[in-house]
Amino acid sequence: MLTVDDLEIGFSTLHPLAGVDFSVARGEILGLVGESGSGKSMTAMSVMGLLPLIGGRVTRGSIRFEGEELTTLDEARYRRLRGGRIALITQNPMTSLDPMVRVGPQIDQGARLHLGLDARAARIRTVELMARMRIPDAARVYDLHPHQLSGGLRQRIVIAMALAGDPELLIADEPTTALDVIVQAQIVQLLVELVRERDLALMLITHDMGLVAQACDRVAVMYSGRIVESGPVAAIFEDPRHPYTRALIGCIPRPGMAEGTLAGIPGTVPSIADLPSGCRFHPRCPMAVAACRDRVPQTVAVAADHGVACLLAGAASGDAP
Amino acid sequence: MAKYAIRRLLALLPVFLVVTVIVFLLIHLVPGDPIDNLMRSGSDPAQRDALSRAYGLDRSLVEQYLAWMGHLVRGDLGTAIVQRRPVAELIGENIGYSLALGGLALAFSAIVGIVAGVTAASFQDRVADRALMSLALVGSTVPSFWLGLLMILFFAVQLGWVPVSGARHWTSVILPATTVGLAGMALVARVTRIAMIETARQDFVTLLHAKGVSRFTIQTRHLLRHALVPVLTLLSLRIGLIVGGSVTVEYVFARPGLGSLLIRAIGQRDYPVIQGSLLMLAIAVMLGTLVGDLLQAAMDPRQREDDRS
């Protein structure tokens, strides 16, 4: 449904994304994982066609949605796509709703724009949608303002807002990061249900490998503006080939883990103004060899639908040195 | 909302009381009194005392204040000492001119300011934005009396479009209103622009774009609404300055109005007229601010909530 190929974007002379490839199929949940600063949200903004809003542009590559090239699409047609066929769910439910407008009409807006409903029909649809989001007493909540609702409820409103225009592809940018653990689990479960019952495609952006294991079908691991490893969730967790993927999996806490054994990843994602040469992960990589400093690793297939961009990919399987 | 309005109105009562004290004391503490105006210097001291007694000026300040307040609560503003006419009548003759001037100045500040601010924000950092903001800077720094004189020279004397002074024709209000409103207009433009730009950076605006809402709708329906909140605050603060500015501008343009009435009365130390017209100006400021606050509360649901708790 969505295929991103060799995507590079630019902000004046800087390139936060430098050759990103991935795809999402209908009915599939793709996890896009990485630390803060790896370019996940930039990827979301690129697909939404909202880069100009933050001063960026696509400088290379293509984004195809149902066969249609989006990087060259004119604004009027892109606008019909946004909310109508591709929808966005943002991270912080506290700031994602207009504080001066009642929540119901904020959901209506999408249905009126993209489905051509009048005010009454949109309201009926919105209340149904809110009820489907398991918002109790939806008809009453419709008339409340955002500040009268809890974070979890607001995030359900944001999801309802995304679904209002009946989209086919959902992009959820860290939809649970700002919520407490119990609400997180409920929201993830809701998203998974919606994907299954409406046959949507979902691009779930997160930094949480645990969430990926729990909810996703496939995963693309992102580091410093590139996809370093991608494949089915089972394959990635059983046989992670990229040292960064392994490090991320090592960051998932498990019950019964001895104190002090939860691993972090030393160092930070490099700034896009000062990128390392060769493999961008080499300064933090425990397995880096001299060649990693000079050569940019190409993505190689290590199994069906499992690609890795690491010079040591062949050797770096589970029992590597 | 109605409850909130009534509570805010009641809260003005103590303010009003303090204002009456200040209005009363201000003029009584200035040297000289109305009798100086009525009698030539060197006239008979006994006659002087008689006049003083007749107007109650021989009594203590406290007694005079209480007497004035006593009449005031019954709606009586007293009688002018020099013109020997009821103060209410004098105010009635002049207040229309002042309301027209102040109202037009406020409307000019608000409408032109908001339009300029929205335009500047939608062309952020481009030529139109820079030009408008430079003009706004000039507008907010030029003293209004000087600007008034310049405008009289250009529009009234050179071009002859509007009358030089007075208030015989309705067009005569245009120049003074522009003069009084210009500084406020410039500030409103700057505040509108920056509020639009700041709001545009918020997450919910990104989501509006992501919903496929057009740029124009986002600007006019959503950003503008947010920008109006600080603009209303600014406008209700400007009301005081507009009232104050009208006083000098009425004088520059030789217009009738409360300002002209007040300035003449101050020269004559005509206590009842001074007190009455100052009180009117103070009430205008208080009511204007109240209306501004109420409008703001009506627009922003969060403010109503905060106040209820």
Q: Does residue A319 sit within a domain?
A: no
Chain B environment of A50 (Cβ under 8 Å): 206, 209-210
For A22, residues 6+ apart whose C-beta sits below 8 A from its C-beta are: A4, A30, A32, A220, A227, A230
Residues A80 and A172 in one domain: yes
Size of interface A-B (CB pairs under 8 A): 73
* Substitution target from A78, A79, A148 for chain B, most B beta carbons within 10 A: A79
Rounded Cα distance between B35 and A3, Å, is: 93
Residues A156 and A176 in one domain: no
Q: How far is A152 from chain B (nearest CA, A)?
A: 16
Q: What's the pLDDT tens digit per position in B240-279?
A: 888 888 888 888 888 999 999 999 999 888 999 999 999 9
Strands A169-173 and A201-206, bridge-based pairing: parallel
Chain A environment of B214 (Cβ under 8 Å): 79
pLDDT in the model for residue A314? 63
Cross-chain residue pair B207–A81, CB shorter than 8 Å:
no
Q: How far is A287 from chain B (nearest CA, A)?
A: 40
Residues A194 and A252 in one domain: yes
Which residues are A7's β-sheet partners?
A: A20
Q: Does residue A115 sit within a domain?
A: yes
Q: Which helix (H) or strand (E) holds B207?
A: helix B203-210
Q: Could you please report the per-residue DSSP string of B93-134?
A: HHHHHHHHHHHHHHHHHHHHHHHHHHHHHHTTTSHHHHHHHH
| In contact, A173 and A40? CB cutoff 8 Å | yes
Residues A180 and A49 in one domain: yes
Q: Per the structure block, which two tokens stand in for B277?
A: 């017209």
Instruction: Count other C-beta atoms under 10 Å from residue B21's C-beta.
Output: 11
| Mean pLDDT rounded to a whole number for chain B | 88
**Burial of A131 by CB count in 10 Å (0-12 exposed, 13-18 middle, 19+ buried)?**
middle
Chain B environment of A96 (Cβ under 8 Å): 203-204, 207
For A191, residues 6+ apart whose C-beta sits below 8 A from its C-beta are: A159, A170, A172, A175, A202, A204, A215
User: What top-level class would CATH report for the domain B87-308?
Assistant: mainly alpha
Q: Scanning the structure block, which residue is given the tokens 């949507």?
A: A200
Question: What is the dihedral angle through the alpha carbons of B94, B99, B101, B107, rounded to the nearest 10 degrees?
Answer: 180
Nearest to A50 among B206, B222, B225 (CB): B206
Does the pLDDT value for residue B233 go beyond 70? yes
Cross-chain residue pair B207–A147, CB shorter than 8 Å:
no
Q: Is A261 helix (H, G, I), strand (E, B) or coil?
A: coil
Residues A189 and A285 in one domain: yes
- Nearest partner of B217 among A204, A281, A98, A15, judged by Cα: A98
Query: At B58, is the pLDDT very low, low, confident or very high (cuts 50, 70, 90)?
Result: confident
Residues A232 and A304 in one domain: yes
pLDDT in tens, chain A (321 residues): 999 999 999 998 899 999 999 999 999 999 999 988 899 999 999 999 999 998 999 999 999 999 999 999 999 999 999 999 999 999 888 899 999 999 999 999 999 999 999 999 999 999 999 999 999 999 999 999 999 999 999 999 999 999 999 999 999 999 988 888 888 899 999 999 999 999 999 999 999 999 999 999 999 999 999 999 999 999 999 999 999 999 999 888 777 777 766 777 888 888 888 899 999 999 999 888 999 999 999 999 998 899 999 998 765 444 443
For B61, residues 6+ apart whose C-beta sits below 8 A from its C-beta are: B24, B25, B28
Q: Does residue A136 sit within a domain?
A: yes
Domain ranges, ordered by start, for chain B? 87-308
Q: Which residue of chain B comes nearest to A102, CA vs CA?
A: B301
Greatest CA separation for chain A: 66
Rg (CA), chain B: 24
Count Cα atoms within 13 angstroms, Cβ side, for B249: 30
For B198, residues 6+ apart whose C-beta sits below 8 A from its C-beta are: none
Q: Compute CA distances B229 → A157, A289, B203, B224, whole Å.
A: 25, 59, 19, 9
Residues A117 and A11 in one domain: no
Residues A233 and A261 in one domain: yes
Cross-chain residue pair A113–B211, CB shorter than 8 Å:
yes
Cross-chain residue pair B211–A82, CB shorter than 8 Å:
yes
Among A120, A142, A166, where does a domain finish? A166
Average pLDDT over residues B284-309: 77
Rg (CA), chain A: 20
Query: Long-range contacts for B52-59 (Cβ within 8 Å, ≥24 apart)?
Result: B55/B81, B57/B33
Q: Which residues of B touch A (CB under 8 A)?
A: 202-204, 206-214, 222, 225-226, 299-302, 305
H helix and E strand count, chain A: 10, 12
Does the pLDDT value for residue B223 go beyond 90? yes
Q: Does residue A65 sit within a domain?
A: yes
Chain B environment of A164 (Cβ under 8 Å): 211
Chain B contact for A83 (CB, 8 A cutoff): yes
Q: What's the pLDDT tens digit per position in B59-73?
A: 889 999 999 999 999
pLDDT in the model for residue A320? 41
| Total domains in the fold of chain A | 2
Nearest to B225 among A80, A100, A114 (CB): A100
Domain containing A146: what range?
Answer: 96-166
Chain A environment of B198 (Cβ under 8 Å): none
Residues A245 and A114 in one domain: no
Q: How far is A100 from chain B (nearest CA, A)?
A: 6
Q: Compute CA distances B121 → A100, A133, B115, B300, whole Å.
A: 20, 37, 10, 22
Rounded Cα distance between A307 and A20, Å, is: 13
Q: How far is B178 from chain A (nearest CA, A)?
A: 33
Query: At B56, is the pLDDT very low, low, confident or very high (cuts 50, 70, 90)?
Result: confident
Cross-chain residue pair B213–A113, CB shorter than 8 Å:
yes
Rounded Cα distance between B228 and B218, Å, is: 14
Residues A36 and A178 in one domain: yes
Q: Does residue A277 sit within a domain?
A: yes
pLDDT in the model for residue A255? 79
Q: Which residue of chain B comes nearest to A80, CA vs CA?
A: B212
Cross-chain residue pair A90–B202, CB shorter than 8 Å:
no
Measured at the CA of B230, the angle between CA B229 and CA B236, to 5 degrees, comes to 95
| In contact, B296 and B232? CB cutoff 8 Å | yes
Q: What's the pLDDT tens digit per position in B115-172?
A: 999 999 989 889 999 999 999 988 888 887 788 888 889 998 898 888 888 778 888 8
What one-letter code names the amino acid at A319? D
Query: At B309, is the pLDDT very low, low, confident or very high (cuts 50, 70, 90)?
Result: very low
Instruction: Count other C-beta atoms under 10 Å from residue A294's C-beta.
Output: 11
- Nearest partner of A218 among A25, A13, A14, A12, judged by Cα: A25
Residues A71 and A174 in one domain: yes
Q: Does residue A299 sit within a domain?
A: yes
Q: Which residue of chain A comes nearest to B297, CA vs CA?
A: A100
Which residues are A169's β-sheet partners?
A: A86, A201
Cross-chain residue pair A87–B211, CB shorter than 8 Å:
yes
Q: Does residue A139 sit within a domain?
A: yes
| In contact, A303 and A238? CB cutoff 8 Å | no
Residues A274 and A137 in one domain: no
Q: Does residue A285 sit within a domain?
A: yes
